[in-house]
Amino acid sequence: MAPILDIQNLFKNYGTTEILKNINVSIEPGDFLVLVGPSGCGKSTLLNCIAGLEPTTGGNLFIDGQDMTHVSPKDRDIAMVFQSYALYPTMSVAKNITFGMKVRGVDAATQERKLNEVANQLQIEPLLNRRPGQLSGGQRQRVAMGRALVRDPKLFLFDEPLSNLDAKLRVEMRSEIKKLHQNLGATMVYVTHDQIEAMTLATKIVVMRGGVIQQIGTPAEIYNKPANLFVADFMGSPAMNLIPATVLRNGKGAQIEISREGKEPILLHDQKAIDLPEKVILGLRPEDIAEAGFRAGENIQEAECHVEMVEPAGADTYVVSELGGKQVTARLHAETRASAGENLRFAFDLAKASYFEPETGNRLN
Amino acid sequence: MADLSFDQTQQSKFGKTTLRIILYVLLTLFALYYLLPLFVMVTTSLKSLEEIRTGSLIALPREITFDAWKIAWASACTGIQCEGLRPYFWNSVLLAVPAVLLSTLLGALNGYVVAQWRFRGANLIFSLMLFGCFIPFQVVLLPMARLLGLMGIAGTIPGLIFVHVIYGIGFTTLFFRNYYVTIPSELVKAAKVDGANFLRIFWSIFLPLSLPIIVVTVIWQFTQIWNDFLFGVSFSQAGTQPVTVALNNIVNSTTGVKEYNVDMAAAIIAALPTLLVYVVAGKYFIRGLTAGSVKG
């Protein structure tokens, strides 16, 4: 299938400041692409470049095979939902939704029909005659979506559309956007700084930092095989444990040695580590460290650790201990008997381990 | 303990009331002081000359007569012509209405561009426009006279309109720019994606939002242009003079007896339109000055 959006070697400068550096991304029709990264990473700028609201400095951008690099936003066949919703304050909800069609000279009957379709789909029929100022945050959000949906474009662009909503509404709208994507089969590009949103919505994630793409992949790839320390740390909550370690080799194979303050180091066997350099950073997700006896897997290694803090979180209990000079979080079952100040036997699932080069931060395995 | 706090509240209540009374007395005095000239003008204009000569300045008229108003409106002499203020009043209307509308519209367009369609040098151009607000009138008199001559509109009402529009753009741009920078730029982006162009976005989205600032600008410009004397006296000729110039001529061209009642009536007539604008649109004026962000 031909890519619906294809970004090739895209650069963007403001004066001498480089905002985007050599961006290459392409997505298939029906994809849900999420651009994620900390604030200032260039993800919103990239979205604005796709929309044509920001001129690019270099590179090319194709939408459905056509070069759109220098085409104005209105001719790109896109629709966009903004963080502040950007509803037209003096127009009613109905006028907000039909404004685009009116500007493009669509006849009144079609406008009416499409308006009703979208209003029905988003359940905003009772709001059609109200002004944006009379709506709640969630309702405004729906209207903003309606304004995009009614256009039936090749690409939907979302610029942090949920960040102005409270936590409960955000989760609701998140699943609604996901449902919408599944029902419409539309192609969407979505910007967020919230890695959970990225994980739940995306079919493909682009992690960015400082205007550079760190990793492109499916949510599972990004989560299980982060390409570098930045991605490992950014994606996932609580964050991946990144523990400095030394690789020891003997006749039998490789061992990972993790130092501990005032105690003998922990030794974990992992045959994968045989080809690694001596100094590495071991990455283990909190859920890959469990209480001994509660975890099965191909390579479970156990070790006794000192529990420093216990944080019950309802479904799970997070237990913090110190390994290799780092706070290490383990995700235990809710009924664990771990208590702060005591020792507990942990099970490390090394089959899930990631190894990173300490200097460059790049993934080694 | 209980008694003590009771005492204190009693005391502070008493102190508060006294302060209130002093405040209101002072405010009333100021108000009277400000209203006194208007009172003298109105009463004098309603007196006959005979009564003005014999009576006291601040006394109420014994007998109310509108003769002075009729003379001021229709037959007072400005130099050799004796047609009263009427023709000049209409000159001022013909001058002020188009000049106010044009300068407001241009200010709105300029403010929209400077605030929402940033371009290279936008700040410089805006600074220069602001600078234009602070150039004293006297400085531009001679170059403007020359320019009006070259354009062939010297001494005409369109010439005066031109002068006032040029001079007003600085202020009107400032007003609209400051209003429009509070409107989120995402609104323009959304409209661009929707397919609207520069003028369409201005017309359909920005103008409907602008009522408060339009009112402020119209009041400001109307007051400036209606009350202007210097440009009026410099760039007009017999027949095109605005009401302020005619008022001056009426007051200065009396022969023999000074008709204070006619002068006062003429002055009130000349000031009425600006008063009226404030009364009609005054509450929007305050609202517009304080209205900042637009919640979408």
B12–chain A nearest CA distance, Å: 43
In this structure, which topology does domain B84-290 adopt according to CATH?
MetI-like fold (1.10.3720)
Q: At A284, phi and psi to the nearest 5?
A: -135, 130
Of A80, A83, A133, Cβ closest to residue B295 = A133
Q: Which of B190, B295, B296 sits opposite A80 (nearest CB)?
A: B190
B295–A89 CB contact, under 8 Å: yes
| Bridge pairing between strands A204-209 and A155-159 | unpaired
Question: How large is the angle between the packed helices B260-290 and B243-252, nearest 10 degrees?
Answer: 150
Long-range contacts made by residues B60-68, C-beta under 8 angstroms, separation at least 24? B67/B261, B68/B259, B68/B261, B68/B262, B68/B264, B68/B265
Residues of A near B (CB-CB distance < 8 A)?
A: 48, 51, 53, 72-74, 78-80, 82-91, 99-100, 103-104, 132-133, 147, 151
Interface confidence, given as ipTM, is: 0.84
pLDDT for residue A73: 93
For chain B, residues classed under CATH 1.10.3720.10 are 84-290
User: Does the beta-carbon distance from B194 to A100 stay under 8 Å?
Assistant: yes
Chain B CB contacts of A72 under 8 Å are: 192
Contact B72, B84 (CB under 8 A): yes
Extents of the domains making up chain A: 5-234, 241-356
Q: What residues of chain B lie within 8 A of the CB of A132, using their CB?
A: 296
Using alpha carbons, select from B88, B67, B92, B89 the residue that is nearest to residue B265. B67
Rounded Cα distance, B272 and B96, in Å: 14
A5-234 classified as CATH 3.40.50.300: yes
Instruction: For residue A89, list chain B residues with Cβ-Cβ distance below 8 A.
Output: 209, 294-296
| Nearest chain A alpha carbon to B184 | A86
B296 contacts on A by Cβ (under 8 Å)? 84-89, 132-133
What local confidence, expressed as pLDDT, does residue B293 receive? 36
Pair of tokens at residue B197: 């162009």
Q: Transcribe chain B into DSSP letters.
A: -HHHHHHHHHHHHHHHHHHHHHHHHHHHHHHHHHHHHHHHHHHHHTS-HHHHHHS-TTSPPSS---HHHHIIIII--BTTB---SHHHHHHHHHHHHHHHHHHHHHHHHHHHHHHHS--TTHHHHHHHHHHHHTS-HHHHHHHHHHHHHHHT-TBSHHHHHHHHHHHHHHHHHHHHHHHHTTS-THHHHHHHHTT--HHHHIIIIIHHH-HHHHHHHHHHHHHHHHH--HHHHHSB-TTS--HHHHHHHHHH---SS--HHHHHHHHHHHHHHHHHHHHHHHHHHHHHHH--PPP-
Which residues of chain A does B192 touch, with a Cβ-Cβ cutoff of 8 Å?
53, 72-74
Q: What is the Cα–Cα distance from A206 to A353, expressed in whole angstroms?
A: 22
pLDDT at A252: 72
For residue A262, what are its two tokens? 């005032």
Residue from A72, A92, A99, A189 to probe the interface with B (highest B Cβ count within 10 Å)? A99
B46 and B68 in contact (C-beta within 8 Å)? yes
Interface of B with A (CB under 8 A): 184, 186-187, 189-196, 200, 204-205, 208-209, 294-296
Number of CB pairs, chain A paired with chain B, less than 8 A apart: 69
Dihedral over Cα of A91, A93, A98, A100: its sign: positive
Structure tokens at A300: 């479970």
Report the candidate in B246, B210, B235 with the shortest Cα–Cα distance to residue B99: B235
To probe the interface with A, which of B117, B193, B209 has the most A CB atoms within 10 Å?
A: B193
What dihedral do alpha carbons B191, B193, B195, B197 form, nearest 10°? 60
| CA A252 – CA A209 distance, rounded (Å) | 41
**The token pair that represents B73 in the structure block:** 């409106």
CB contact under 8 A, A89 and B186: no
Instruction: Please list the pLDDT of chain B residue by residue as tens digits (296 residues).
Output: 445 555 666 667 788 899 999 999 999 999 999 999 999 999 999 988 888 888 888 888 888 888 889 988 988 887 778 888 999 999 999 999 999 999 999 999 999 999 998 888 888 998 998 888 888 888 889 999 999 999 999 889 999 999 999 999 999 999 999 999 988 889 999 999 999 999 999 999 999 989 888 988 999 999 999 999 999 999 988 888 999 999 998 888 766 778 888 899 999 999 999 988 888 887 777 666 555 434 43
Question: What was the pLDDT predicted at B294?
Answer: 40
- b/e B223-243 (16+ beta carbons within 10 angstroms → b): bbbbbbeebbebbbeeebbbb
In chain B, residues with a C-beta closer than 8 Å to the C-beta of A82 are: 186, 189-190
Give CA–CA dist A190/B101, Å, rounded.
45
Q: Answer yes or no: do A90 and B208 touch at CB < 8 A.
A: yes
Cβ-in-10-Å burial (0-12, 13-18, 19+) of A210 comes to middle
Domains A5-234 and A241-356 share a fold: no
3-state SS, residue A335: coil
Provide the pLDDT for residue B137.
Answer: 85
Residues B186, A83: contact at Cβ < 8 Å? yes
Substitution target from A47, A103, A131 for chain B, most B beta carbons within 10 A: A103
Q: Do the beta carbons of residue B249 and residue B169 sit within 8 Å?
A: no
**pLDDT tens digits along A118-174:** 999 899 999 999 999 899 988 999 999 999 999 889 999 999 999 888 889 899 999
In this structure, what DSSP letter does residue A3 have? -
Instruction: Spell out the residues 6+ positions from residue A70 whose beta carbon is closer than 8 angstroms to its own.
Output: A55
Which residues in chain B have Cβ-Cβ distances shorter than 8 Å to A80?
189-190, 193
**CA of B294: which chain A residue's CA is closest?**
A89
Residue A321 β-bridge partners: A307, A328
* Element spanning A230, H or E: helix A229-234
Q: Which of A84, A90, A132 sits opposite B184 (nearest CB)?
A: A84
Residue B274 in tokens? 């600006």
pLDDT beneath 50: ranges in chain A = none
User: Nearest residue of B to residue A157 by CA position?
Assistant: B193
Q: Residue B199: closest CA among chain A residues belongs to which residue?
A: A103
Sequence-separated (6 or more) residues with CB below 8 Å from residue A236: A195, A223, A285
Indicate the residue of A73, A104, A147 with minimum beta-carbon distance to B192: A73
* A79 contacts in chain B (CB < 8 Å): 193
CB contacts of A49 in chain B (<8 Å) are: none
Residues of A in contact with B189 (CB under 8 A): 48, 51, 53, 73, 80, 82, 86
Q: Where are the beta strands (DSSP E) in chain A?
A: 5-14, 17-27, 32-36, 58-63, 66-67, 78-81, 155-159, 188-192, 204-209, 212-217, 241-249, 254-260, 263-269, 279-284, 289-291, 300-312, 316-323, 326-333, 343-349, 354-356
Structure tokens of B256? 């023999």
Contact call for residues B58 and B50 (beta carbons, < 8 A): no
CA–CA distance, A335 with A312 (Å, rounded to integer):
9
- Residues near B69 by Cβ (< 8 Å), separated by ≥ 6? B45, B265, B269
- Residue recorded with tokens 């014999």: B54
Sign of CA dihedral B276, B277, B283, B289: negative
Q: In this predicted structure, what is the pLDDT of residue B130? A: 87
Q: Which of B184, B200, B294 sits opposite A103 (nearest CB)?
A: B200
- CA separation (Å) from A83 to A190, A365, B65? 11, 38, 67
Least CB-CB distance to B187: which of A51, A72, A86?
A86
The structural architecture, per CATH, of the domain A241-356 is: Beta Barrel (2.40)
> What is the separation, in whole angstroms, between the first and last Cα of chain A?
31
Helix B211-227 to helix B260-290 angle (10° resolution) is 160
Phi, psi of A308 (to 5 degrees): -100, -30
The two tokens of residue B196 are: 């609207």
Q: What is the pLDDT of residues A200-250, one digit of tens each?
A: 999 999 999 999 999 999 999 999 999 999 999 999 989 999 999 999 988
Q: If you measure CA to CA, which chain B residue comes closest to A83?
A: B186
Contact (Cβ atoms closer than 8 angstroms) between residue B198 and residue B206:
no
B34-56 exposure pattern, b = at least 16 Cβ within 10 A, e = fewer = eeeeeeebebbbbbbbebbeebe
| Omega of the bond leading into A238 within 30 degrees of 0 (cis) | yes
